[in-house]
Chain A
Amino acid sequence: MRSGVVIGLEVHAQITYLRTKLFCRCSSNYRDNPPNTNVCPVCLGLPGSLPVLNKAALEKAIALSLALNCKIYDKLLFVRKHYFYPDLPKNYQISQYDRYGLTPIAVNGEVTIEIDNEIRTIRIRRVNIEEDTGRIVYPERSVLGSKYSLIDYNRAGVALLEIVTEPDFRSPREARVFLEKLGSILEHLEITDTSLEGAMRADANVSVDGGSRIEIKNIGSPKDLEKALNYEVARQLNIIKSGGTIERETRHWIKEKGVTVTSRVKELEGEYRYFPDPDLPPIPISKDLIEFVSKSLPELPDSRARRIAKEYEVGDYVASVLVLHKKLCDHFEYSSKVCGNPKLISSLLVNDLLRWVDEAGIPLAVGISRLNTERLCKLVHYFSNGLISIKLLKDYVRLAVLEDINPEELVSRGLTTIGEEEEIERVVDEVFKENPKAVADAIKDPKAINFLVGQVMRKTRGRADPKLVNEIIRRRLSEYGPK
């Protein structure tokens, strides 16, 4: 952790688990539709249209506020936030504010994260409900080359929850860990499916050594967040080192290039002319409603991790990784109940599945469907029968996730453990004959047998049980003895 690095986050999470938009009855599932077909007078902001609040959105917002340990106000107030932009149909956004007696839905919460065995508390400044904008696309390939823009309003009006933290992060890594945890909370509350494109977006405020705050907009994932922040901190340090000063500004994260650039959009900060939306009078949030939501809260990540560690005896670390991805965790619990051997399954999921989907850039959901419960059960079965060794087991998982190959298929191809000593001895003898110098080396220095082991594994295409191979080679060598 560098001294003097101060980071705050503003996260926008779509409430993807709603069927309709925030203020109208258009479907909230806009991703599958052709442009501008999922619209109506309200979300287009046609003259005379009026907003009506989706009750379920209020309940989800309350659920999130409870999960973040916030204080929830007894009235829901909406404001109009004015700025002109083509993706904003009414040229104002219906949102919330926290001055002049106006309040967001909830304030003063906290989330704990674990970094290097230290528990850190991140304070939540506020939670807002607001509507999403349309999307801008560019007709030419290059954003800068386009003479005009194209707007799709399908997304306009979709419900958003804005979560703003205090600037409590002291490193990019902390910010990433927080965002991962927030994503997990949103998944467990069935508010946001974070695997959907654009469902969770973050803006970050960074300052270094007490300098001005730089805002970085448009970051799409925890990984990108850490990358962007690392880049930005380095950039700022460089400027300071060469004697320059940091001017307050807004920048954009360009994922493809791995850099932040100055934003071209002119920001008229502070001139949003917030005032209460006269079309939406204050909505009471009763204690009964809060209690109702509270009672129906699903299991949250922290308690789930504790339960899983205990119930399945997989250890705190593994449990904490599992709960970071709700779908993975669900898969784990279900598969463990069906196939047994939760320790093994958790290891395969945490150490292997996650690694392969990450390296190959495959969506987690796809990885899970390729390593489905049926296949996991088979793998557990093969391993416990000794049909495959631990090494082959990992190969099986890799091939299933990367190439969608069924374990049964691999067995029929003969990719099983050779456990019979006779066969291995035969191969060992072959290898000894072909590599007399290596044998001589190994007799002198027992540690050098690795080369010979490797040769045997190569010849058996990995199928030999490495333990047994080791044993047999040592035996043979001791039989030969120093000449």
Chain B
Amino acid sequence: MFSPQCTQVSSISIKTLRERVVEDPDFLFKYIDEVYRVIERHEHRLRAYITLRPKSEVVNEAERLLKSKEIGPLGGALVALKDNISTKGIRTTCGSKMLESYVPPYDATVVLKIKESGGIVIGKTNMDEFAMGSTTENSAFYPTLNPWDYSRVPGGSSGGSAVAVAACEATVALGSDTGGSIRLPAAYTGTVGIKPTYGLVSRYGLVAYGSSLDQIGPMARYVEDVAVVLDVISGHDPRDSTSLKARTGSFRDYAVDHLLKNYRIVVIEEMVGEGVDKGIMKVFNKILEKLESRGLSVEFKKMPLLQYSLPTYYIIAMAEASSNLARYDGLKYGVRLEVEGKLWTDVYRRVRMLGFGDEVKRRILIGTYVLSEGLYEGYYLKAAKVRRLLYEELMKLFGVYDLAISPTSPILPPRVGEVISDPIKLYSLDINTVPINLAGLPALSVPGGFSEGLPVGIQVFGPPLSEGFILNLARVIEVLRDA
């Protein structure tokens, strides 16, 4: 799905782009022109990008690509990258003043893979600072707006990537998801986004937030595009100790518009409870009906353990964040202060006060708290045990069912400023998405329809390495929705 800012040419899929470029290489330049025209018209309001590459650079790269032997599976697609993915020679800010001028000397593994497969990096997208947030309002630079309604947020933390894709300012994008940061903005912007099984996509080059929860994933207007990009970026990486060994088969083959299996589908009752907006439930139930009419069985199951998933998630995520962000001291890179005549503790304290925004500071302090002497057992260790229980419950569930389905978010995209002042309110947006990261499972959000003119996302998730089935069901939902 794509938003009103799009034009016909700028809204095409990878498949279409590739076909047309193979037919007529010049089309790639027409396409690039059109995308930059959309950017010119709308980016000043949407503000999806932090760094946009000049058109001339992108055109040069397109020329080089066409001259080379293979245009690859991406065929010249313009790929927007969330600004916490390291790009050699292109500034990588993580949406933070701390890294405002940091230019990495290396490419993340996924960036290398994109480039090798014929993708062209068009720019780095806006995000909540260090991926901490659910609305992209925590960016140290500026908020990104929801293309469907400029008074509302696009979700976060991969808001910029979602909007770039939704408003056709890129062909596809990469985001990152620690507790829902791909799926939530996908839901709020009417796009498709997948968080892969933990370990399927290399994290080498992804600026870490919650290392045991983070994954990079593709975002696109169409399920098939997500599958194509997932094929490109997934796979074993010897530079990442948590990278799964190579698997065979192509995800793209699963993104077909007919059911490959009679999936036994489950809905966890705690995910469709009272807190979910009525309009969203209407869209969700309609999709369920359509799936049932196709012969799929949908059952409901209780999982009371889920009520502990938010505290479990935030204890672990904040603890890991406080550790991962310890390195930002301004010495080698980042906010720079004069060092002569000063003690290191004084310099570090100031650098970190100046470089980090409020939400980041909060999370670091809390993370430090739950790891500290005397509190470790009651918080971090306990949360890790609850995580084990949640994991086992979910795995038991998927011993019986093939896939699970839920609304991605309990509420429609909030207005700018509505949730940001209240941390607890902000965290509750993630209630349906965090259990999945705790268990390392794959999950996708696909647009299921509209309510009050705003997109409604449907979350499909399953056991480890079930991306194929997830993409299949998502594609079918895509078809049924538009029917």
In the complex, are the beta carbons of A90 and B381 less than 8 A apart?
Answer: no
Please judge, given known A-B contacts A46-B106, A270-B373, whether A281 and B340 are in contact too, CB under 8 Å.
no
Q: B377: which A residues are within 8 A, CB to CB?
A: 100
In the complex, are the beta carbons of B371 and A273 less than 8 A apart?
Answer: yes
Chain B 322-334 interface mask (CB, 8 Å, partner A; 1/0): 1100110101110
In the complex, are the beta carbons of B208 and A48 less than 8 A apart?
Answer: yes
Q: What is the bound-complex CA distance between A129 and B339, given in angstroms?
A: 33
Please judge, given known A-B contacts A85-B344, A273-B372, whether A47 and B327 are in contact too, CB under 8 Å.
yes
Is B419 located at the chain interface by the 8 A CB criterion? Answer: no
Is A147 located at the chain interface by the 8 A CB criterion? Answer: yes
Per a CB cutoff under 8 Å, which of A47, A82, A86, A281 touches B323? Answer: A82
Task: List residues of A (370-403) whose CB comes within 8 Å of B's CBs.
Answer: none
Q: What is the bound-complex CA distance between A412 and B332, given in angstroms?
A: 62
Cross-chain pairs A/B with CB under 8 angstroms, 27 sampled: A41-B104, A41-B105, A44-B332, A46-B333, A47-B99, A47-B207, A47-B327, A48-B84, A48-B86, A50-B204, A52-B239, A52-B241, A82-B326, A84-B344, A84-B348, A86-B329, A86-B331, A91-B327, A148-B339, A273-B322, A273-B371, A274-B376, A278-B210, A278-B211, A278-B320, A279-B241, A280-B241
Q: B211: which A residues are within 8 A, CB to CB?
A: 278-279
Give the residue name and chain of the A residue nearest to B86 (CB). Answer: A48
Task: List residues of A (397-432) whose CB comes within 8 Å of B's CBs.
Answer: none
Q: What is the bound-complex CA distance between A281 and B104, given in angstroms?
A: 26
- Which among A45, A53, A86, A274 has the greatest number of chain B C-beta atoms within 10 A? A86
Is A92 located at the chain interface by the 8 A CB criterion? Answer: yes
Is A35 located at the chain interface by the 8 A CB criterion? Answer: no
Q: What is the bound-complex CA distance between A46 and B376, given in angstroms?
A: 27
In the complex, are the beta carbons of B241 and A275 less than 8 A apart?
Answer: no
Is A315 located at the chain interface by the 8 A CB criterion? Answer: no
Is B267 located at the chain interface by the 8 A CB criterion? Answer: no
In the complex, are the beta carbons of B105 and A91 less than 8 A apart?
Answer: no
Q: B203: which A residues are within 8 A, CB to CB?
A: 48, 50
In the complex, are the beta carbons of B372 and A271 less than 8 A apart?
Answer: yes
- Which among B211, B342, B368 has the greatest number of chain A C-beta atoms within 10 A? B211
Chain A 26-44 interface mask (CB, 8 Å, partner B; 1/0): 0000000000000001001
Task: List residues of B (68-107) whose CB comes within 8 Å of A's CBs.
Answer: 84-86, 92, 94, 99, 102, 104-106
Q: What is the bound-complex CA distance between A189 and B92, given in angstroms?
A: 45
**Interchain residue pairs A-B with the least CB separation, the first 4:** A278-B212, A278-B211, A91-B326, A273-B371
Q: What is the bound-complex CA distance between A281 and B319, given in angstroms?
A: 17
Q: What is the bound-complex CA distance between A267 and B326, given in angstroms?
A: 17
Q: Would you give the shortest CB distance from A260 to chain B, in whole angstroms?
A: 23
Q: Would you give the shortest CB distance from B210 to chain A, in whole angstroms?
A: 8
Chain B 22-59 interface mask (CB, 8 Å, partner A; 1/0): 00000000000000000000000000000000000000
Chain A 271-301 interface mask (CB, 8 Å, partner B; 1/0): 1011100111100000000000000000000
Q: Which residues of chain A have a CB within 8 Å of any CB of chain B?
A: 41, 44-53, 80, 82, 84-86, 89-92, 100, 147-149, 151, 266, 270-271, 273-275, 278-281
Is B7 located at the chain interface by the 8 A CB criterion? Answer: no
Q: B205: which A residues are within 8 A, CB to CB?
A: 48-49
In the complex, are the beta carbons of A84 and B329 less than 8 A apart?
Answer: yes
Is B345 located at the chain interface by the 8 A CB criterion? Answer: yes
Q: What is the bound-complex CA distance between A390 and B368, given in angstroms?
A: 71
Please judge, given known A-B contacts A82-B323, A100-B377, whether A50 and B104 are in contact too, CB under 8 Å.
no
Q: Would you give the shortest CB distance from A137 to chain B, in whole angstroms?
A: 15
Q: A270: which B residues are within 8 A, CB to CB?
A: 373
Q: What is the bound-complex CA distance between A326 and B307, given in angstroms?
A: 63
In the complex, are the beta carbons of A92 and B326 less than 8 A apart?
Answer: yes
Q: B102: which A residues are within 8 A, CB to CB?
A: 47
